[in-house]
Structure 1
Amino acid sequence: MNAPIRRISVLIALLFTALLVSATVLQAVQARSLGQMTANKRTLLDDYSRERGAIVVDGQNIAESVPVDDQYQWLRRYPQGPLYSQVTGFYSYVVGAPYGLEHASNDLLSGDSDSLFVNRVTDLLTGRRTAGATIELTLNAKAQKAADEALGDSRGAVVALDPRTGAILAMVSHPEYDPNPLSSHNLGTASSAWKTLSTDPDRAYTNRAIGGNLYPPGSTFKVVTAAAALEDGLVQDENSSVPGPATLDLPLTDTNLPNENRQACGPDDRTTLLRALEISCNTAFGSLGLELGGEKLRAQAAKFGFGDTLNVPLRVTPSSVPADLNAPQAAQSAIGQYDVRTTPLQMAMVAAGIANGGRVMTPYLIDSVRSADLDTISGSPQPVELSQAVSERTAQILTTMMVGVVENGSGARAQISGVAVAGKTGTAQHDPGKPPHAWFISFAPADDPKVAVAVVVEDGGVTGSEVGGGRVAAPIAKAVMEAVLQ
């Protein structure tokens, strides 16, 4: 063989080798990532031609796929409209990447989960098109509706938990949106809906219950401060005497910490821990914050779940208490201000942990998973303890104090006839010039808790008063608790 032919043969061999290597890389190495690319419309068309599993609450579909006579074959529909939009999210050919549970549980809903491997093999052998799994949620339809209606036109969020298990009973975030136009097969309709949603200044696409721009918890955080003081031995019980002057002199700064009414919380500038929580005495809890210091506050908050990254399976933004707090910052943090930031889910976990004898359960949203043949893939999960936040004794003392808030203090509008309710109001300062956020956390019945609730209403408070938390947020929590208990 002469040299030119030999060189051409080598070149052809190299080209074939490059082709084989390229094909191998594409099919074996990059196949998964290419398949998951939002710009890969072939994958989306393949997914759309497969029946996607339903998302179910109390036996009713809140997301489902219905057959249609077009290239997509199946239309994703949300029968309840906006009511569950922050939970389900949406599945859209135009947007590409799904949102909400449609994203977090995409492998189950699409049928691609490893837990459905046997079903896929059976489908392959029988020639049947693979269908996704049905997901049954822990949500209580009555509680969800009650939270949605009670929150009304206000911006904010509501979360309800079963304190014994961590099951999420309600998750509502306002403003909400209708996911149906986003899943439309009319590309003009879907594109217009996505443009409206993605540019919405009120961020209706954000699930405020678990993420977005987190909130200062305001006076609801005083429950955590009280827990830290009790666990540390700084106070012995609800009748322990604590300072309660009209203004607390803070070290290292000329700015002092006043009570909202600019009055002392008791005679001789003293009050009990119980009364301090009932009337939400800033100086009492600021004083406890000074004595405890920032690290003990932060450690106690961490025991309730602050700092943890949770997936329910929706990803929850971690709540936070800043590190390295100086004395004035510790005092401000002790009343839920400075840079303390939290989600409504986290504050519901605080209430639920106290209700559950000090044990915080890991929250979860999926109750069971069934295949297209109705075979159970996974049943109701065993409750998982996240942490022992406080002792049972401390939890009982805190319960007594929170019952006092509802019966004798700022949380009177959460009272339910014949049921002992434990709660705490909050008014959280945020942007200068704007009204504070109104908060309420609670659980009921106080002697046998079955539901814990956290409510935040953006800009719903009154500057210098707990009236916002008690007047605006407490009735919302009451409505949700009644829906569960009935």
Structure 2
Amino acid sequence: MNAPIRKLALVVTAMFCALFVASTWIVYVQADELRDKPGNRRTLLASYSQERGAILVAGEAIARSEETSDELKYQRTYPKGKLNSHLTGYFSFIYGAGGGLESAENGLLAGDADQLFYRRLGDLLTGRQPSGVSLELTIDPRAQEAAQNALGNQKGSVVALDPKTGAILALISHPQYDPNTLSSHNLDSVQQAWAALNEDSERPLVNRAIGGDLYPPGSVFKIITAAAALSSGRFDTNSQLPGPAVLDLPQTTAGLVNDWRGQCGDGTVNLLQAMEDSCNTAFGWLGMQLGGQALRDEAAKFGFGQQIGIPMSVTPSTMPEQMNAPQEAQSAIGQYDVRVTPLQVAMMSAAVANQGTLMQPFLVKQTRGSDLEVIDQTAPRELSKATTPEVAGQLTQMMEAVVTSGTGTRARISGVRVAGKTGTAQHGEGLAPHAWFTGFAPADDPAIAVAVVVEDGGDAGMSAGGGSVAAPIARQVMEAVISR
């Protein structure tokens, strides 16, 4: 064999090897990724050939598949679409499964998840029409409706949990969108709706409850600071703290002030009073005494920094890695670079309500087949020991004082002991603050823990405060659960 032929043979052999490697890589390594890629027309056509599982709240479908007379055979519909848009997400022939449970549990809803292998095999052997499984959610429809109505047209989020199990009772993010506009079989209108949603400066597709641009928590973070102080053994609810009108901070000429521009008490307050009145200067001083590492460690126990799926992926809440003394003071009152999701803030109250034990939040109670048999059921699971029962009891006492006679009186419920904490979070020069409230009820036997954030002060604008804007919303959601 002469040299040119040998070279040609080597080139051809190399090309065959490259083709073999590429095809093997696609078939065995990239197959799942390519199959699940949104917009994969072949996969989408296959998925429309069988009924997709429903998403249920209290037995009522909030997402279901309906038979059609066109080639796609089924169309996804969303009764009360806007109300539950960030729970369900959307299922579109053009854009695939996106947002919410349609994406996070696509395999179960489509019926091709690995855990359904034996069920699919049974369908094949018996000739039964294959279908996806249905998801029954933990959502309490009364709490969900109450959160929706109370938040109204204001931007923000409401999250409610069962503190004893971690079950999510309500999850609302405003603004919302109608997923029906994306599931239509009129593909031109779907494209127009998609363009409008993505061009909207209010970002309705973003689930503010668990992601997006995280929020500064403001004074609701004082729950973490107080927990760190009590857990240190150096402080109790009666410990005296300085509460001047302006707290001098080292390394800077700027001081830390209270919201009302005056001192706390007579210039000295105990820890319980500092929480009750949301005294910035006392908690700023406390943060410098504890140090940044103690604040970070305590926040981590309450879930900061953890990767959580509910099953939708939750953006971890964050604490600054490095802090000097002024930054420790600012962080102790939930400012500087502390950032949270509303779910995280609800988890803080839930851990206190559950005697210091933080439960894993979850949204899917159980999965059911087309014949209504229960395939799987979610068991409550402990996420961490946030604090001791003794410290949780002290925090509950302090948070009850906030609602009884402090900044959170508008969260009171007649005949019910309510624990809570307000927050008014600055997030930019000249911008209206975010209004926060978090708490739980009944304080002596908690059935619900809630977090509310109203962006940019909501309807109140620059005059907004957590006690005036967010606390009444939280009260209505708590009432919806405990009055049943």
Q: Shared fold (TM-score greater than 0.5)?
A: yes
**Structure 1 partner of 2:59:** 59
**Structure 2 partner of 1:335:** 333
Q: How far did 1:25 drift?
A: 5.4
Q: Distance in 2 between matches of 1:205 and 1:41?
A: 23
Letter of the aligned partner of 1:241 in structure 2? Answer: Q
Out of 436, 451, 459, the position equivalent to 2:448 is 451
**Structure 2 partner of 1:383:** 380
The one-character-per-residue Cα deviations of 1:363-388 (angstroms, maximum 9, x if unpaired) are 01110011222221112x22211111
Q: How far did 1:323 drift?
A: 1.2
Q: Distance in 2 between matches of 1:464 and 1:242?
A: 30
The SS at the match of 2:311 is coil
Out of 348, 351, 355, the position equivalent to 1:350 is 348
Q: Which is further off, 8-17 or 281-290?
A: 8-17
CA contact (8 A) 1:261 1:464 kept: no
Matches within 5 A, 1:85-104: 85-104=85-104
The SS at the match of 1:192 is helix
Matches within 5 A, 1:220-235: 220-235=220-235
**Structure 1 partner of 2:258:** 259
The one-character-per-residue Cα deviations of 1:190-218 (angstroms, maximum 9, x if unpaired) are 11111111111001000100000000000
Cα gap change, 1:24 to 1:349, in 2 (>3 Å): closer
Q: Distance in 2 between matches of 1:251 and 1:13?
A: 72
The one-character-per-residue Cα deviations of 1:247-272 (angstroms, maximum 9, x if unpaired) are 101001111101122211122x2011
The SS at the match of 1:82 is coil
What TM-score, normalized by structure 1, do the two folds share? 0.94
Q: How far did 1:17 drift?
A: 8.8
Q: How far did 1:468 drift?
A: 1.6
The one-character-per-residue Cα deviations of 1:279-319 (angstroms, maximum 9, x if unpaired) are 11110000100101111011111110011110000110000
Matched, 1:417 2:375: no
Matches within 5 A, 1:234-245: 234-236=234-236, 238-245=237-244
**Structure 2 partner of 1:45:** 45
**Structure 2 partner of 1:364:** 362
CA contact (8 A) 1:116 1:371 kept: no
Out of 391, 394, 403, the position equivalent to 1:394 is 391
Out of 273, 277, 297, the position equivalent to 1:275 is 273
CA contact (8 A) 2:432 2:462 kept: no
Q: Distance in 2 between matches of 1:263 and 1:21?
A: 72
CA contact (8 A) 1:157 1:209 kept: yes
Matched, 1:403 2:396: no
Q: How far did 1:416 drift?
A: 0.4
Q: How far did 1:99 drift?
A: 2.1
Q: How far did 1:50 drift?
A: 1.6
Q: Which is further off, 381-390 or 311-320?
A: 381-390
Cα gap change, 1:11 to 1:382, in 2 (>3 Å): closer
Q: How far did 1:24 drift?
A: 5.5
Q: Distance in 1 between matches of 2:249 and 2:17?
A: 75
Q: Which is further off, 360-369 or 38-47?
A: 38-47
Cα gap change, 1:49 to 1:463, in 2 (>3 Å): closer
Cα gap change, 1:271 to 1:464, in 2 (>3 Å): farther
CA contact (8 A) 1:306 1:318 kept: yes
The SS at the match of 2:86 is helix
CA contact (8 A) 2:452 2:473 kept: yes
Cα gap change, 1:27 to 1:293, in 2 (>3 Å): closer
Cα gap change, 1:17 to 1:290, in 2 (>3 Å): closer
Q: Distance in 1 between matches of 2:174 and 2:243?
A: 37
The SS at the match of 2:154 is coil
Cα gap change, 1:20 to 1:354, in 2 (>3 Å): closer
- Can you give the 5+ residue segments of structure 1 that lack an aligned partner in the other structure? 1-6
Matches within 5 A, 1:79-228: 79-228=79-228
The SS at the match of 1:275 is helix
Q: Which is further off, 198-207 or 33-42?
A: 33-42
CA contact (8 A) 1:111 1:130 kept: yes
Q: Which is further off, 192-201 or 449-458?
A: 192-201
Letter of the aligned partner of 2:233 in structure 1? Answer: G
Cα gap change, 1:126 to 1:12, in 2 (>3 Å): farther
Matched, 1:248 2:238: no
CA contact (8 A) 1:260 1:464 kept: no
Q: How far did 1:57 drift?
A: 0.5
Q: Distance in 1 between matches of 2:19 and 2:421?
A: 68
Cα gap change, 1:447 to 1:127, in 2 (>3 Å): same
CA contact (8 A) 1:423 1:442 kept: yes
**Structure 2 partner of 1:77:** 77
Q: Distance in 1 between matches of 2:200 and 2:271?
A: 44
The one-character-per-residue Cα deviations of 1:104-163 (angstroms, maximum 9, x if unpaired) are 000100001122112211222233331000000111000000000000000000000000
Q: Distance in 2 between matches of 1:310 and 1:240?
A: 36
CA contact (8 A) 2:83 2:148 kept: yes
Q: Distance in 2 between matches of 1:10 and 1:203?
A: 56
Matched, 1:478 2:472: no
Cα root mean square deviation, aligned:
2.5
Q: Distance in 2 between matches of 1:455 and 1:24?
A: 51
**Structure 1 partner of 2:3:** none
Q: Distance in 2 between matches of 1:432 and 1:18?
A: 58
- Can you give the 5+ residue segments of structure 2 that lack an aligned partner in the other structure? 1-6
Matched, 1:312 2:348: no
Letter of the aligned partner of 2:66 in structure 1? Answer: V
Q: Distance in 2 between matches of 1:15 and 1:176?
A: 52
CA contact (8 A) 1:115 1:377 kept: no
CA contact (8 A) 2:155 2:175 kept: yes
Residue identity (%):
56
The one-character-per-residue Cα deviations of 1:43-92 (angstroms, maximum 9, x if unpaired) are 11111112100000001000000110111100000011200001110001
Letter of the aligned partner of 1:251 in structure 2? Answer: P
Q: Distance in 2 between matches of 1:17 and 1:298?
A: 53
Cα gap change, 1:187 to 1:266, in 2 (>3 Å): same
Q: Distance in 2 between matches of 1:371 and 1:202?
A: 38
The one-character-per-residue Cα deviations of 1:156-177 (angstroms, maximum 9, x if unpaired) are 0000000001110000000001
Q: How far did 1:471 drift?
A: 1.1
CA contact (8 A) 1:222 1:285 kept: yes
Q: Distance in 2 between matches of 1:25 and 1:119?
A: 29
